[in-house]
Amino acid sequence: MNVPAAWYLVLAAVLFGIGAYGLLTRRSALIMFMCVELMLNAVNLTFVTFARTLSDIGGQASVFFVMVVAAAEVTVGLGIVVAVFRRRHSTSVDELNEMKG
C-alpha cells in the first residue's frame, strides 16, 4: 500500500514554504524566479497527490497546464531580466526603484 496522501501534502507544504521564504528574502531576480519554480512544483505535487487520492485524471491535466504556463513565465521573465540587466548592469530587484513615489 502506498504511503498516505497526507505525507505528500505536508511535503508539498514544506516545499511551498521554502520557496515562499526564498522569494521574500532573496534579492537576485534569478534566484527569485527559481523560488517561484519551487512554489509551482509544490502546487504540482499537491495536484498529483489529489489526482491519486480521488482517482481523477483532472489533477494531472492541471499539472500539465501549470507546466506550460511555468515555461511561458520563465521565458518572458528571463527576457525581462536580460533587458533590465542590459540597462542597469545588475539583477538585484532592490535597484529597480525608479518608479518609487
Partner 1 sequence: MSATAYALPSIVVFVTAALLIVVGALGVLAVRNPVHAALSLILTLFGVAVAFIAQSADFLAAVQVIVYAGAIVVLFLFVIMFLGVGRSRHDHVEPLVGQRPLAALGVAVTVGGIIALLASSHWVTGATSVSGSSLAKGTGNVHQLGTAVFTTYLYAFEATAALLVIAVVGAVILARRERVTEGAE
Site for partner 1 in 77-96 (CB under 8 A): 78-83, 85-86, 90-92, 94-95
DSSP 11-43: HHHHHHHHHHHHHHH--BHHHHHHHHHHHHHHH
Which of residues 61, 96, 100, 101 is near partner 1 by CB under 8 A? 61
Task: Return the residue matching grid coordinates 511561458.
Answer: 72
For partner 1, the binding residues in 5-24 under the rule CB under 8 A are: 5-11, 13-22, 24
- Residue 89 in grid coordinates: 548592469
Per CB under 8 A, 65 contacts partner 1: yes
Residues in the interface with partner 1 (CB under 8 A) total 75
